[in-house]
Amino acid sequence: MGDNHLKYVCFYDCFENYKENRNYFLSATNKVDYIISSLVKNGYKVKIVSPSWTNNKFVRYKGKKHKISENVMLQTFFTIDFGKAKGIKQFVSLIQLFVYLLKNTKKDEPIIVYHSIALILPIILAKKIKKFSLILEVEEIYNHAVQLSVYKKKLEDYIFTLADKFIFSTTYLNETINDSKPYVVVNGVYKKEEKIVHKKDDEKINVVYSGTFDLNKGGALSAIHAAKFLTDIYCLHILGFGSDDEIKEITTEINNIQDNSEATIKFVGLLRGKEYIEYLQSCDIGLSTQYNNARFNDTSFPSKILTYMANGLSVVSSRIKTVEESSVGKYLYYYDNNDPEEIAQTIMSVDLNSKLNTQEILDYLDNEFTQNIFKLLNQ
């Protein structure tokens, strides 16, 4: 491969291959797609190497190459499912990744790897043998998010020391993991959405919460409870996803709060694609209201903040260090405590006549990251 070719190792698949139901997460692939778009702007051709295994039962699929775009190819591997033996199909996929890296990489070649517990061992072994330059994309420290075994924690710590360069989602990750190696920080997808619709013309200030209904993270519940203290010129829209039990809990809570609130609360549920974008653009204020004392907040950045900004909304957020110190931190409105009345006061303090253009901010950050990723690859 030429100097302008890059391999990007991650769990990934494309829509055209949906019948194979391979293992990947949309939030991760959205970030990967964005980083790849910046690499392409810099003249690189990218090959995504995905060891994603099937989630279908009692099947097998061949590995193949997919053309994602003119400058992006996807390589998948053979995958097989035996029913109960889940570990076997994972092992088969990861062994193929290891062999692929042995056959197709060379010394000092830059390889971008999306940090995942499942990928650590084959990446460590392949790097030890082939001595390629490991650029580790770190979205979170898994041992901070979940309780890992002692063995997995040691592996995670080791790959951080083994990496040659980093792509971090927050400055906190750089401060926690990095010991002066080259790095770049990209909080999320710095890409504005084209204007599809105008704001709602209903004489209301429309506030939206979009995201998980996970009761432990508390984002949706915090937004709903805050509505109790909003005035009648506000309308709160609840968008998102959750289990049947979580949806039941959320809708019950909305009904309870609505009886004691001047503001209107609307449960919308899950929207996708263009319908989702249109709904966001019709609102004025976006809420990022998860509990600010959760451990995962130390290292993760809420992607919904950039989604709101991409669609021209002002943003209200709990005061979290990774958010406040981020590239967009100074443009947000914050509350300090998980107190519904304080959240409501922060919402009502948003200056909707401000000349701040959140989409222009993302344009600037996009250009800056495109330059920084080029510098990282060439130092």
Please indicate whether residue 44 or residue 296 has the higher confidence score (pLDDT): 44
Strand ranges inside 64-143, DSSP E: 65-69, 72-76, 79-80, 110-114, 133-138
Strand ranges inside the chain, DSSP E: 5-9, 45-50, 60-61, 65-69, 72-76, 79-80, 110-114, 133-138, 165-168, 183-185, 205-212, 234-241, 264-269, 285-288, 314-318, 333-335
Do 166 and 177 contact (CB within 8 A), yes or no?
A: yes
Banded pLDDT at 216 (limits 50, 70, 90): confident
pLDDT value at position 291? 80
pLDDT one-digit tens code per residue, 12-48: 999 899 999 999 988 899 999 999 999 999 999 999 9
Using CA atoms, how far residue 258 sits from 101, 224, 252, in Å, is 57, 9, 10
Say how far apart CA 376 and CA 379 lie, in whole Å.
6
Would you call 54 helix, strand, or coil by DSSP? strand
pLDDT value at position 1? 43
pLDDT one-digit tens code per residue, 241-288: 999 999 999 999 999 999 999 999 999 999 988 999 999 999 999 999
Q: Which two tokens stand for residue 146?
A: 């979940």
First to last CA, the chain: 20
Summary mean pLDDT of the chain: 94
pLDDT one-digit tens code per residue, 30-40: 999 999 999 99
Percent of the chain, pLDDT > 70? 98
Please indicate whether residue 52 or residue 85 has the higher confidence score (pLDDT): 52
pLDDT value at position 207? 98
pLDDT one-digit tens code per residue, 146-186: 889 999 999 999 999 999 999 999 999 999 999 999 999 99
pLDDT one-digit tens code per residue, 70-116: 999 999 999 999 887 778 999 999 999 999 999 999 999 999 999 99
Residue 229 phi/psi, 5-degree rounding, is -110, 5
List the domains of the chain with CATH numbers: 5-186 (3.40.50.2000), 205-358 (3.40.50.2000)
Q: Is pTM beyond 0.85 here?
A: yes
pLDDT value at position 101? 98
Say how far apart CA 216 and CA 294 lie, in whole Å.
9
Would you call 133 helix, strand, or coil by DSSP? strand
